[in-house]
Structure 1
Amino acid sequence: MNLVEITIQNIRVIRWLRLAPSKGLNVLIGPNGSGKTSVLEGVHLLGIGRSFRGRVCRAIITQGEENCAVSGLVDKGLGKELRMGIEKGKYGSRVRVGNREVTRASELAQNLPLLVLSPDDQSLLTKGSRERQRFLDWILFHVEPSYFNLLYRYFRALRQRNFALRQMNNRNLLLAWDEELGKLGELVDKFRRKSVETLFPILCQYLSSIMEVEVAMKYTSGWNVEQPLTDILRQRVKADEKLGYTFQGPHRGDLCFTVQGIPAYQRLSRGETKQLILALVLAQARCLYEQTGVIPVLLLDELTAELDKPSLYRVSQALMALQAQVFVTMVSEQMLNDMVWCKGKMFHVEHGTVRKLS
């Protein structure tokens, strides 16, 4: 799976560009504000339907323009190619996959799996559990065809139960949602546990090869799994009515990372935190490959920032072993001297224009 060609229009400083990337490494070099990250945003928009730097569409559209657009040609292997495109503006979005206009951006993600490492990704460790749930859900979305719909149904039932809790005048309706939410929640947790079992040994391999610090990982379901979730929901009705929301369930599940029993984000340096998150990204990619045969495209923004020479060497070794299509941004090509790379393409980016260097 790789991106053969991409055309980007009106994304930040990029008015228009067409890129024919390498199947392997693609290095985007240029000063800050030149448009390097905007190229990655364009790829991300094509594969996910939004920027990885925020959900506000207006923010990424070039000043003075009304919309932005990205189109691309994806090599899906075995001689199959697929053209995709998305246009976003103040009147909404239009998405095309092949010859079809589709209503869900998730169809983009199904056809161009992407993973991102950006300077903002430390929030994976520092923010609430939903960020880490999404980490697991990404794998399941691509591996388990029924999971996306299951998760949608779970959160719909959760909203309905929360609404019923605040009404406090229809106990029979609340009991019905307890039953539905409990049943769906058990299934969500079952999928996530299975994913963690697959992920854990792969992550351990990457942690040992990239980091010099021992990191422990633990998955929690969001309730005491020794009891059925439906029973717990019914036991907590009065307590949840006081809160106005459902306190337990897989929406409260978490992946906890610790170093010597202390939360990793409190113990690790910024460079070590970046190594941990990169190990998680690589483990996601390897999980997808081992279960589907598909290697996702990797977008690595400012990969070299906060990493010393030994760390860069170990990280680049792990990346090359994965044999993924990689887009990486950096300020200077001199940083490549500290890394192990196979042949690829190098591009210079300045004022929103891209020039191929090699």
Structure 2
Amino acid sequence: MLHLSSVIWLFSLFVLINSLCDRRTPRKEGYLREPCVPGFYEGSCLIILEKMKLHEAMEKCRYDYGGRLATAPSKDAFKVWARTIHFSTKKSITEKSRFWVGYDKSGFKNVIPGGEDSTFDEKRWKDVFNADKFVKIDDWENDENKNQLGNFDCPPEGTIFNPLNHKFDVEGYNRKFHGLCETVRSAKLQCDSGWYLIPPLRMCVKVHRDKIIFLQAHAKCNSEDSFIATAQNIYELKLLRNVIVPLKITNNLRSIGGFWGGLKSEGRTTYSMDGTNPIFSVNTDDNKKKCGAFTYRNFGHDELVGVAVPCNEGGFWDTTYKLPFMCQRFADQSNGGGT
């Protein structure tokens, strides 16, 4: 019988790594999860982001909501921005509050979020705004040289909006401000019977209590027109854990239990089964093909959230892992004019 310490030594750890401006393609369905009130402007929806650096705000808006930092087809949009900020933040807004927006030296960015794989294509965005030209900024707060702003994927500076006086300023990317994210409105999300809706992910998940090897779990999800539930970051992992942990499905993963995640690794290269670029990295010292399992809670260091174990029946030195899992697919919705 393999000694417990040897088994633990064979584990490869999942570590969350931080990267900037590298998630090009958002999830392909259902970016919004609730009616867009009051942040609504000619078919678009405005979403207030928590304080974060410029690149983080760009990534969150593009990846999580399929959008872009807010642009302005007309100066009336500035009033909508300020009103949205007021109603969304209530008393937390102060004279020092600023918001990242999507302006560069050529004006507000008239770009299509999400790229070719996004459901929000060019025609749809033009239908939203009914405008091809965007306004220039006349009012700068501190006579900033806007020429230092460039149209980069990871710009060194960005533009912030003052909701109290409707003026703009330039700040370095490393400063933390709220973000003003803009995306297309979508309808309510729905799941079939037996599936849980996770609204922030725009996803439906189905829990399978049967403990099987990864390849069997993968085949089962495929038969249900879905894929193994895949967390892209710590926040998404918490949402998945909130579904499965209360079910108390005991198993032999790391003594604290766990479930399959849609991640496969070969050496130090990690692949995501949903086709997105994973930001979980597998720390392993061999070139074996392994599959990812998330634990029911973090262990050791806060960033160690799971392990890489054999995808099928283990060999002489590898334990066979049979775990529960969740299948995941996009929530059903109509992509009309909002709710």
The TM-score, its normalising length taken from structure 1, stands at 0.25
Higher helix share: 1
The TM-score, its normalising length taken from structure 2, stands at 0.26
Higher strand share: 2
